[in-house]
Amino acid sequence: MPTQHWERVGAVLAHLSALLWWLFLPCVGALAVWWWRRATSPFVSDHAKEAFNFQLSVVVYALVVSALGPVTCGVTWYVLGPMLAVFAHGAAFIAAWRAGKSEVYRYPITMRVL
């Protein structure tokens, strides 16, 4: 459990970096937080790795939905696309909230890479 405020802030930032998807790949922010604090805080490192793994998983799932779009006449774009976006952002907010409370959070359906 972290006792310092900066650790909670770093973990929250790692999860909320998913909201930067329109600027660059969402996993870049979490990877930067992990790289920056991996040696100084196990709490921040764990949350940043979890955020990176989930955000990378969402990118892979979005690519699959995009690839299936032409095959299903666009149904996946209009049905699964918005569901994936709401799920991904909702999960990031929940994880950030838990990190702010010094709790550990594991995202569902995540491919573990880091």
Structure tokens at 60: 């892979």
For residues 113 and 51, is the Cβ–Cβ distance under 8 A? no
pLDDT at 83: 83
> Over its length of 114 residues, how does the chain's per-residue pLDDT go in tens digits?
555 888 898 889 888 888 776 555 677 888 888 998 888 889 999 999 999 999 888 888 888 888 887 877 777 778 877 888 888 888 999 999 999 999 989 998 888 888
The answer to whether residue 33 sits within a structural domain is yes
The answer to whether residue 109 sits within a structural domain is no
Domain that holds residue 42: 5-100
The answer to whether residue 55 sits within a structural domain is yes
The answer to whether residue 105 sits within a structural domain is no
The answer to whether residue 107 sits within a structural domain is no
pLDDT at 29: 83
* Amino acid code (one letter) for 46: D
**Torsion angle of C-alpha atoms 72, 73, 75, 77, degrees rounded to 10:** 100
pLDDT at 45: 92
For residues 19 and 55, is the Cβ–Cβ distance under 8 A? no
The answer to whether residue 111 sits within a structural domain is no
* Tens-digit pLDDT profile for residues 69-78: 787 777 777 8
Looking at the chain, list the stretches that DSSP marks H as alpha helix, in order from N- to C-terminal side: 5-16, 27-37, 42-68, 75-100
The answer to whether residue 113 sits within a structural domain is no
Q: What is the DSSP letter of 74?
A: T
pLDDT at 35: 92
Q: How many domains is the chain partitioned into structurally? A: 1
pLDDT at 21: 65
